Structure 1
Amino acid sequence: MAEGKGREVAATKAVEEDAWGGGVPLIVKEFVAGGVAGGVAKTAVAPLERVKILFQTRRTEFHTVGLLGSFRKILQTEGFLGFYRGNGASVARIVPYAALHYMAYEQYRRWIILGFPDVGKGPVLDLVSGSIAGGTAVIFTYPLDLVRTKLAYQVVGPSRLKNKGPYHSSEQVYQGILDCILKIHRQNGLRGLYHGVGPSLYGIFPYSGLKFYFYEELKRHIPEEHKQDVVMKLACGSLAGLLGQTITYPLDVVRRQMQVQALSTSNNKPGKGTFESLVMISQTQGWRQLFSGLSINYLKVVPSVAIGFTVYDIMKSWLKVPSRDEAAAGSAVTENWHRYMMPVNNSSPLPLKVMGINQ
């Protein structure tokens, strides 16, 4: 019995490897490609991300000087490395996040096609797959996003940071990623590491879904001779990111303010819930605050999406990831093989013909 089971596992693995075009599973290739793409893209736009967070969380000394003034102030206060404060946590978060996001999107898409063939392969498929994939990635990586925001929010000179002296005496100062995680957990437990996850999920479901929806819909309008043009794909991806970001940006602002609530000395703190926070910010800070930093985000999204898509495509090509249609076909082959390999009775774990025995 055990010997037959071993042959079943080996045969199934052989079919899966043949379906994926190599010994490495497809989801692993997509995971690696997505992680590399996310890390490279995030590092490239880290300075803009730092300033955007300072704008969103309404630090007065930065909110009043504008984009160029903020760059000068960071350079004078913290030096060149100040532009990348919090980027370590950002990359540590974005690598698994992007890896999970891309891989989950592709996997959910295949599962939906296999489980609900009547759905077809239209934009609705991408909307649903992208939304669920975004939520999955957020749940697994949110604590690192919280840490990244807190590290980027604090503005501390090198000497003060080394001596553990806060830039504002009433603020908590974190020495790094691990120190931040430990202090948050010590003060608020595991729940503290997920403070603000509500608006993150509310925001990522529509944003991620809309991004993939717009991207696939825009690609349908590309002339056939330019379908494989990388520049056209990047243009579609950038526009899709901009549209999705504009629609869901207020939720991102609420999320950031909730994340740094314990650090802020402002009296205009958001409420406990997402909706209450949205109303509170509108009433006390003005509705424009809900779109504060959006222009910077536009500058960040375009190169980030462009770099992300480019690196992802390069990595998929290098790792020999099959096309979506080929991958879906491989999933169908594997699914059918698993069904075919089900025991026909208690004494025969494999169909006799598969085992090379004639009836």
Structure 2
Amino acid sequence: MSRTALPGTQESDSRSFYAWTKLRRFFAHVKYENLVAGLSGGVVSTLMLHPLDLVKIRFAVSDGLDLRPKYNGILHCMRTIWRQEGLRGLYQGVTPNVWGAGASWGLYFFFYNAIKAYKQEANQGDLRASQHLISAAQAGALTLCITNPIWVTKTQLVLQYDAGVDQSKKQYRGMVDALVKIFRREGIPGLYRGFLPGLLGTSHGALQFMAYEELKKKYNKHRSLPLEAKLNSFEYITMAGFSKIFAVSATYPYQVVRARLQDQHNNYMGMVDVIRKTWGNEGIYGFYKGMIPNIIKVTPACCITFAVYETVSHVLM
């Protein structure tokens, strides 16, 4: 039977000192450069590729409701939005997307590199693939806890369909307006719609970072270089692209479930309800709607993000 150390005892003081020492060792590996570099990469890639993200979300939630526009493909979707709403329509929801992507990538790299360095110090050497996977999952969970409200506002902003002369259906004027109205209407739970599938979706980032780290490690080992040797931009882009395609292919259905939970036009009872209705109405195909525009968008976005991140981090450090 385990016993709890009483406050003020030597055992309790010893445990407190040990915990404080571990915390200090962890914070010794925290570097703002990783935050700045990750944020830079996320913002640049998002500004360049936001229209494809908008198309991906609109396809992901296309469940047959009459209010939704009908699109025949990626180009038809983009042309339709351009004709109806112009460039502003293609960049609907870009503000929370920039905030969300910048904060997510910045925090992800910030947490991930600190966790990885802490574990490397404890292991006195490089990490195994499974340790990279766990470190990335931990970083993803921490990041999601902070950024989920931004993703909810982004999803609802890109799902404001053009109402022609009647603009009453335009619920939100922008990111802050959306945050305030969602909070007033639904409280904290409204800002954390889709959190559970998002948490499950940290497996996406974990698989991506594991693949990226392993590719870099094996490539440098093949060339007899140090494990953390700087590569050129093309090499970073190639490894980032392969790791992203691998992660997307393995985890895409959670993004459909998450987008549908965050959609203001539907009321689901929870993640299981989304899965049951999607499977019942659309079959397995329903869980992969929007995957092609997603791959077209996220692969170059990932390549840009990682190339900018590696460049900026090496400059800052």
**1:344: which partner in 2?**
none
Per-residue deviation, residues 211-254 of structure 1 (Å, max 9, x unmatched): 01111222344341797232122111111111111111101100
The answer (yes or no) to whether the contact 1:54–1:63 under 8 Å persists in 2 is no
Pairing partner for 1:187 from 185, 188, 194 = 185
Matching residue's letter, 2:214: E
Superposed displacement of residue 63, structure 1 = 4.6
Using the alignment, how far apart are the partners of 1:316 and 1:203 within structure 2? 26
Name the residue aligned to 2:157: 151
Equivalent-residue separation in structure 2 for 1:225 and 1:301 (angstroms): 31
Q: Is it true that 1:174 corresponds to 2:172 in the alignment? A: yes
How many angstroms does 1:26 deviate by?
A: 5.5
2:260 corresponds to: 257
Contact 1:77–1:157 under 8 Å retained in 2: no
Give the gaps of 5 or more residues in structure 2. Answer: 1-23
* 1:256-310 deviations in Å (ceiling 9; x for gaps): 00000x324xxxx6x4232332222111222101000101111012210111011
Q: Are 2:289 and 1:282 equivalent residues in the alignment?
A: no
Find the counterpart in structure 2 of residue 317 from structure 1: 314
Structure 1 equivalent of residue 270 of structure 2: 273
Relative to structure 1, is the Cα distance of residues 309 and 147 closer, same or farther in structure 2, using a 3 angstrom cutoff?
Answer: same
1:210 alignment partner in structure 2: 207
In structure 2, the partner of 1:47 is 51
Structure 1: give runs of 5+ residues left out of the alignment. 1-15, 167-171, 322-359
Return closer, same or farther for 1:119/1:317 CA change in 2, 3 Å cut-off: closer
Q: Are positions 1:108 and 2:115 aligned together?
A: yes
- For 1:135, the aligned partner's letter is A
Q: 2:62: which partner in 1?
A: 58
Q: Which letter does structure 2 place at the counterpart of 1:136?
A: L
Partner of 1:29: 33
| Equivalent position amino acid for 1:86 in 2 | G
Aligned residue among 235, 257, 262 for 1:232 = 235
Alignment CA distance shift 1:157-1:273 (3 Å): closer
Asked if 1:247 corresponds to 2:244, the answer is no
What is the alpha-carbon root mean square deviation over aligned residues? 2.3
Matched, 1:139 2:136: no
Q: Decide which structure has the larger Cα Rg and report it.
A: 1
Residue aligning to 1:81: 88
Structure 1 match to 2:290: 293
Letter in 1 for 2:180: L
Distance 1:51 1:298 in 2: 12
Distance in 2 between residues matched to 1:186 and 1:55, nearest whole Å: 28
Counterpart amino acid of residue 31 in structure 2:
I
Aligned-partner Cα distance in 2 for 1:272–1:77: 33
Letter in 2 for 1:114: E
- C-alpha contact (below 8 Å) 2:119/2:127 kept by paired residues: no
Distance 1:280 1:90 in 2: 28
Aligned residues of 1:74 and 1:82 also touching (Cα < 8 A): yes
Once the two structures are TM-superposed, the CA of residue 45 in structure 1 deviates from its matched residue by: 0.9
Cα offset, 1:114, TM superposition:
3.0
Q: What is the one-letter code of the residue matched to 1:187?
A: R
- The aligned length equals 282
Report the AA paired with residue 92 of structure 1: W
The residue correspondences of 1:279-358 to structure 2 (distance < 5 A) are 279-319=276-316, 321=317
Check 1:37–1:284 CA distance in 2 against 1; reply closer, same or farther (3 A cut).
Answer: same
Aligned equivalents of 2:124, 2:194: Cα separation in 1: 37
TM score, norm. by length of structure 1: 0.73
